C-alpha cells in the first residue's frame, strides 16, 4: 500500500509559535517521513492575523499549505498573497466574493495530489459565516476525480460542531483536524469510514499562558472587566499537531497520532520581563 504521511499543526501563535516551528519542524519531517505539512497560521502576526513575510517564512520552514480562521483578514497585507498563492486557503464558508481561495490541491514530492480546505464553525464564533456542512459538501463536489486525499481544518469553538463535522466528512476526507481553541484534545482516532479525526490539535505556541496570551493580563481583565493588552506569552513553548498516515489510492486514513514537541524553553516558566520587552510580539 502506498501511503502519504500528513502532518497538521494547530494555530501558530506569535513569534514563539513561529520559532518552535522553525526549530522543530524540519527534524520532525525528516524523522517521521512527512510528505505534507498543513498549518493553521491565523495567529502568527503578533497573535492575530498573518503577513506575507510570515507566510514566506513558514513556507521556508517546510509548511506546504497554510490554513486560516476567524482572524484571517486582521492584517490586510496578506490579501494579495491569498489571491495569488495556491499555498494558502481561507475558510470555505465565507462569502463567495471574500478574498482568497476556498480550497487548494497541491502535489506531494512523492507525486500524490492532496486537497486542503478549512471551515469556520458558527457556534460561539463572532465571525458570521455560511453553513460549514454545506460548504464542505460544495468543496468536495469541486474535487477532480483523481484527488483521493483530502484535509479539512475545522476552525471552531464548540466540540459538538467539530465532532459533527468529523462524522459529516467521515469517508469523504482523509483528515479532519480541529483548531481555534488552542487546547489539545485527547480524542485522535480513525473514524469508521476512514477519516482521521481530532477535535483540536492545540496550538504551536506558549502554553504557560491563557491560549497563548500573557496569563497575568488575561486574569486582570477577567477579574475586573477592565481592558488590558493581551500580549503573546513566552513560556513553555510547544509544537502541537497530528500525524496521519493515509492510503494514497483510497484516501482513507490508516492511523493518526498526536504530536507534541517541546520547544527549547519548555521548562521555562512565564517570563514577564521578556514579554514586557516585546519578545512575545511579532
Ligand atoms: Fe487561533
Ligand atoms: Fe480562531
Ordered by start, the domain boundaries in the chain are 3-265
Grid cell at residue 228 = 488590558
Q: What's the CATH code, domain 3-265?
A: 3.60.21.10
DSSP state of 111: S
Helices marked H in the chain: 14-32, 52-61, 79-84, 132-142, 159-168, 215-224, 272-276
- Strands 149-155 and 175-179, sheet pairing: parallel
Quick check: 208 and 218 in contact, CB under 8 A? no
Residue of 63, 64, 71 whose CA lies nearest to 94: 71
In degrees, rounded to 5, the angle at the alpha carbon of residue 89 between the alpha carbons of residues 154 and 238 is 60
Question: Among all ligands shown, which has an atom nearest to the Cα of 10?
Answer: 1
Q: Is the pTM here over 0.75, yes or no?
A: yes
pLDDT at 123: 98
Question: Which residue numbers are catalytic?
Answer: 71
DSSP state of 76: G
pLDDT at 275: 44
Neighbours of ion ligand 1 (CB under 5 A): 11, 43
- Going from the Cα of 205 to the center of ligand 1, the distance in angstroms, rounded, reads 10
- Going from the Cα of 210 to the center of ligand 1, the distance in angstroms, rounded, reads 12
Grid cell at residue 118 = 478549512
pLDDT (tens digit, 9 = 90+) per residue, 130-169? 999 999 999 999 999 999 999 999 999 999 999 999 999 9
Give the whole-angstrom CA distance, residue 262 versus residue 115: 29
Give the whole-angstrom CA distance, residue 195 versus residue 252: 6
Residue of 83, 160, 93, 149 whose CA lies nearest to 120: 93
Give the whole-angstrom CA distance, residue 204 versus residue 156: 17
pLDDT at 264: 78
Which residues, given as ranges, of the chain have pLDDT below 70? 265-282
- Going from the Cα of 55 to the center of ligand 1, the distance in angstroms, rounded, reads 16
Residue of 117, 110, 125 whose CA lies nearest to 246: 110
Amino acid at each position: 500500500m502506498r501511503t502519504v504521511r500528513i502532518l497538521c499543526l494547530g494555530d501558530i501563535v506569535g513569534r514563539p509559535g513561529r520559532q518552535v516551528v522553525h526549530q522543530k519542524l524540519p527534524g520532525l519531517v525528516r524523522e517521521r517521513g512527512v510528505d505534507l505539512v498543513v498549518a493553521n497560521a491565523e495567529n502568527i502576526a503578533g497573535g492575530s492575523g498573518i503577513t506575507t513575510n510570515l507566510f514566506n517564512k513558514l513556507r521556508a520552514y517546510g509548511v506546504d499549505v497554510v490554513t486560516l480562521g476567524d482572524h484571517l483578514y486582521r492584517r490586510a497585507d496578506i490579501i494579495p498573497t491569498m489571491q495569488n498563492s495556491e499555498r494558502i486557503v481561507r475558510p470555505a464558508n465565507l462569502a463567495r466574493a471574500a478574498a482568497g481561495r476556498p480550497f487548494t490541491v497541491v502535489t506531494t514530492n512523492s507525486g500524490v495530489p492532496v486537497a486542503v480546505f478549512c471551515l469556520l464553525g458558527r457556534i460561539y464564533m463572532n465571525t458570521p459565516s455560511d453553513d460549514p456542512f454545506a460548504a464542505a459538501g460544495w468543496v468536495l463536489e469541486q474535487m477532480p476525480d483523481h484527488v483521493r486525499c483530502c484535509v479539512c481544518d475545522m476552525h471552531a469553538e464548540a466540540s459538538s460542531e467539530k465532532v459533527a463535522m468529523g462524522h459529516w466528512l467521515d469517508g469523504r476526507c482523509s483528515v479532519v483536524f480541529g483548531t481555534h481553541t488552542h487546547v489539545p484534545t485527547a480524542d485522535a482516532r480513525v473514524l469508521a469510514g476512514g477519516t482521521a479525526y481530532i477535535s483540536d490539535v492545540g496550538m504551536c505556541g506558549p502554553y504557560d499562558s491563557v491560549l497563548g496570551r500573557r496569563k497575568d493580563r488575561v486574569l486582570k481583565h477577567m477579574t475586573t472587566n477592565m481592558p488590558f493588552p493581551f500580549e503573546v506569552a513566552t513560556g513553555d513553548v510547544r509544537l502541537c499537531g497530528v500525524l496521519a498516515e493515509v492510503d494514497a489510492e483510497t484516501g482513507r486514513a490508516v492511523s493518526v497520532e498526536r504530536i507534541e514537541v517541546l520547544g527549547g524553553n519548555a521548562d521555562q516558566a512565564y517570563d514577564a520581563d521578556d514579554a514586557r520587552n516585546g519578545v512575545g510580539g511579532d
